[in-house]
């Protein structure tokens, strides 16, 4: 099957290119970039020299021209929110499958999206789009949609450990606190003083407090699984590392819930899933152990003194938090092995 990427020159786009070039069941047939149109892929991503990237050229980012390509049935959108919706409108109308790595279709409620992101550029597509976190989304999505929204990196690190517990009633729906630390690549490829090496080395700081955009996605998905509103205090931090996310969740244990029942819920939710690793209680995940992988490592302890579960997770923000997860979605959508091209 031939696939294409719109916006392949950012950090997530680069990882997506590498994954698709080595995927055993697809051919990367088109990559777009207004800035690099006409250049060889390997000229922009030198790590790919000596591969097919030497002869694959970036093309312009004209949505109508891309939609007219009958040879490409699935497109990945590795674009900022807003821009992605403009391409999605044209590609979906032409009957193409679309996997969007931006936030444009992660939030189903239009009012919530506008509260956090502003004007939506394709609200008419929201009813036919689906937020797809492969381990948690009902498999029926594969036959129901033309547009899949890949989850964000922070939400993945939060929802994978927390969603099964909320659904099983093992934690309270309020007073949940999520503290996350992200590598600098999570901010995208940009030339800003705040992201210079000298500014970020030996430095960690909180940002986006109270109303970080990913909070909309987190609360909506948890509320859907709980069948009632779930309120989360989300505190993101920028960490002095290139990639990776570490998340610590403090959630009040429901009456009667134990660490054994928590792990039982996780085992039931993730049995047979190749990309969720349950660590023993007391062994906390390390971002270094998931870098370059599509895996989420999770663990938990129960604090008898406070009555809280303390839950931790680690993932690579560019792989399971973005491009790897998008490829995982493609694999499931197209009937390939779930782990194809990801191990």
- Tell me the catalytic residues: 153
Contact 160, 144 (CB under 8 A): no
CA–CA dist 270, 262 (Å, integer): 12
DSSP structure string for 273-317: -TTEEEPPTT----GGGTTTSS-EEEEEEEETTTTEEEEEEEE-T
Residue 22 structure tokens = 């080595």
Backbone dihedral region of 29: left (phi > 0), alpha (psi from -120 to 50 degrees) or beta? alpha
The secondary element (H helix, E strand) that includes residue 243 is none
What does the DSSP 8-state code read for residue 124?
G
Distances 90 to 52, 62, 75, 209, 216 between C-alpha atoms, Å: 28, 10, 11, 35, 26
Residue 173 structure tokens = 């729906």
| Helix, strand, coil percentages, rounded to 5, for the chain | 35, 20, 40
Q: 252 exposed, middle or buried (CB, 10 Å; 0-12, 13-18, 19+)?
A: middle
CA–CA dist 288, 180 (Å, integer): 15
């Amino acid at each position: 099957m031939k696939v294409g990427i719109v916006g392949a020159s950012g950090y997530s786009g680069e990882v997506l290119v590498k994954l698709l070039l080595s995927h055993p069941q697809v051919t990367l047939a088109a990559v777009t970039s207004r800035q690099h149109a006409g250049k060889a892929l390997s000229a922009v991503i030198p790590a790919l020299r000596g591969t097919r990237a030497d002869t694959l050229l970036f093309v312009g980012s004209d949505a109508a021209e891309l939609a007219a390509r009958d040879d490409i049935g699935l497109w990945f959108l590795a674009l900022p929110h807003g821009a992605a919706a403009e391409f999605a409108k044209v590609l979906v109308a032409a009957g193409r499958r679309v996997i969007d790595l931006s936030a444009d279709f992660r939030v189903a409620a239009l009012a919530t999206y506008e509260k956090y992101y502003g004007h939506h550029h394709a609200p008419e597509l929201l009813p036919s789009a689906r937020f797809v976190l492969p381990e948690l989304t009902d498999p029926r999505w594969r036959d129901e949609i033309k547009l899949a929204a890949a989850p964000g990196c922070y939400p993945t690190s939060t929802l994978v450990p927390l969603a099964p517990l909320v659904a099983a009633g093992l934690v309270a729906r309020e007073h949940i606190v999520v503290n996350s630390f992200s590598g600098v690549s999570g901010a995208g490829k940009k030339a800003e003083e705040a992201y210079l090496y000298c500014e970020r080395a030996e430095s960690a700081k909180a940002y986006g407090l109270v109303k970080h955009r990913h909070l909309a996605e987190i609360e909506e998905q948890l509320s859907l699984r709980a069948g009632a509103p779930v309120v989360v205090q989300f505190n993101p931090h920028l960490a002095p590392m290139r990639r990776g996310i570490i998340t610590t969740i403090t959630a009040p244990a429901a009456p009667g819930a134990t660490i054994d029942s928590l792990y039982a819920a996780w085992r039931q939710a993730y049995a047979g899933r190749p990309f969720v690793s349950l660590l023993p209680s007391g062994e906390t995940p390390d971002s270094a152990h998931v870098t370059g992988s599509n895996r989420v490592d999770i663990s938990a302890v129960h604090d008898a003194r406070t009555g809280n579960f303390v839950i931790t997770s680690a993932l690579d923000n560019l792989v399971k938090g973005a491009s790897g997860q998008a490829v995982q979605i493609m694999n499931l959508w197209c009937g390939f092995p779930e782990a194809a091209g990801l191990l």
